[in-house]
Amino acid sequence: MNLTDIHSDSRGSIRILTGEPLTYPEVTVFETKKGYARGGCIHKINDEYTSVIEGFVKYIFSDGTEHSLYPGVSLRIPKNTGHCFISATDSVVLEWGATPEEKQKKYPSLRRLVDRINEQEDNYMKIDIFKDGLFETLTPFNQDVLDVCEQWNYNAGGQEYDFSQKRVSNWFDPKKLRNIYIPASYPHHVPLTDEAKWSLQLYCCNYMTLFVVNKLYADRKDVLIEDVGSGMGRLGHYLHKSGFTNLSFQDDFSQTDQRMFEDMMKKSGIDNYKLNDKLSRPIVMTQVALPAIIKSPVTDTELYCFYNNVPRISVEEVTKNYGLQFLARDADDLMFVYCKADKYDEFLAKLKPYEVA
């Protein structure tokens, strides 16, 4: 068999495996850096197959379905199905089954998605949120969270939540906090979250919000900050301990009891806050998942923080009508931030010292 280099660029490399004893004409080997996308093709004659050797990737099909793959898992891509993949970590992916001629056919909307994601990876600012030790200054307040969590029980082994028995989702179990998957690799755990730098009793994805709010609003501690999908209120706790005084929370309390949230507010010393206020007008919004929950019309909100569980292009489809502009993402690519266009230059200058080369 022969392994031939085909192409290399900022995304990584593409090589082709050919020759005996391969059953298929060729096998394509993609080495892709975290955050980049590949593909945007459609094959009219043959099904194609893919398998991940290293890392985690998310395949997106033209019918809107998404498939998360990890090492050892294979996927069949039916013929006449447009497809691409986004690399949630550095990855090595094999694809085989389609002929070289078929691979030339592009699926326009997915190809545009791939191009836009790669453009952002090459040109949009990435910041090191651990550069100045902000989180270390907040570690003394971890005990407040642990004290609240100690009074509650957590579901395990397929148990249902039972709020009458103070049993809530293990999402809130401090012993399992580092085992919670990140959105881009759902439903699989990645070693990234085991690193010692995650020093707070806070879900890893929320560190970005905590950081950028501290840097962008250091002289405006009274801005209204709204946490959508706030759970027990951990992020609000650390924002309050950072000096922010105007907090709003949105949650349906399907995974935790509202009493646990209230316990956290009391322990943190947050006496005045908004809860599920549909008329709030936040300056900062941090979103759990999808951009569809952006408040409309956007008037006062200057900053939006999104979990990276959907392609940034999907967020842009929603935000482009509201005068929002991509601002930055963290170096681990767990969250990305948009701001109002008229705040972009100011915010960019404040985050520039933390840019990753």
Domain CATH for 99: 2.60.120.10
Cβ atoms of residues 235 and 286 within 8 Å: yes
Q: Are residues 226 and 79 in the same domain?
A: no
Q: Are residues 23 and 58 in the same domain?
A: yes
pLDDT for 179 equals: 80
Q: Are residues 97 and 110 in the same domain?
A: yes
Cβ atoms of residues 210 and 239 within 8 Å: yes
- Alpha carbon distance 102, 100 (integer Å): 6
Mean pLDDT in runs of 10 for the chain (357 residues)? 86 87 82 92 94 92 89 94 91 92 90 85 86 96 98 85 92 88 70 87 94 98 94 97 97 95 98 93 78 58 81 59 83 88 95 93
Q: Are residues 266 and 137 in the same domain?
A: yes
CATH number of the domain at 183, please: 3.40.50.150
Residues 6+ positions from 211 with CB-CB distance below 8 Å? 127, 129, 134, 135, 330
Q: Are residues 48 and 14 in the same domain?
A: yes
Q: Are residues 97 and 8 in the same domain?
A: yes
Q: Are residues 200 and 287 in the same domain?
A: yes
pLDDT for 289 equals: 55
pLDDT for 240 equals: 98
pTM of the prediction? 0.79
Cβ atoms of residues 306 and 277 within 8 Å: no
> Of 122, 141, 172, which marks where a domain is finished?
122
Q: Are residues 298 and 224 in the same domain?
A: yes
pLDDT for 296 equals: 53
Q: Are residues 146 and 49 in the same domain?
A: no
Task: Provide the terminal-to-terminal Cα distance of the chain, rounded to the nearest Å.
Answer: 39
Question: What H or E segment, with its residue span, contains residue 31?
Answer: strand 27-32
pLDDT for 288 equals: 56
Q: How far is CA 250 from CA 79, 224, 233, 287, in A?
A: 43, 13, 10, 10
Q: Are residues 149 and 77 in the same domain?
A: no
pLDDT for 19 equals: 74
pLDDT for 276 equals: 94
Q: Are residues 106 and 134 in the same domain?
A: no
> 24 lies in which domain range?
2-122
Q: How many domains does the chain have?
A: 2
> Of 95, 122, 149, which marks where a domain is finished?
122
> Of 90, 122, 154, which marks where a domain is finished?
122
User: What DSSP assignment string belongs to 248-273?
Assistant: EEE---SSS-HHHHHHHHHHHT--SE
pLDDT for 100 equals: 85
Work out whether strand 37-41 and strand 48-54 pair parallel, antiparallel, or are unpaired: unpaired
Exposure string over 17-42, b if 16+ CB within 10 A, otherwise e: beeeeeeeebbbbbbbebbbbbbbbb
Q: Are residues 111 and 217 in the same domain?
A: no
Among all chains, which residue has been given the structure tokens 């951990």? 234
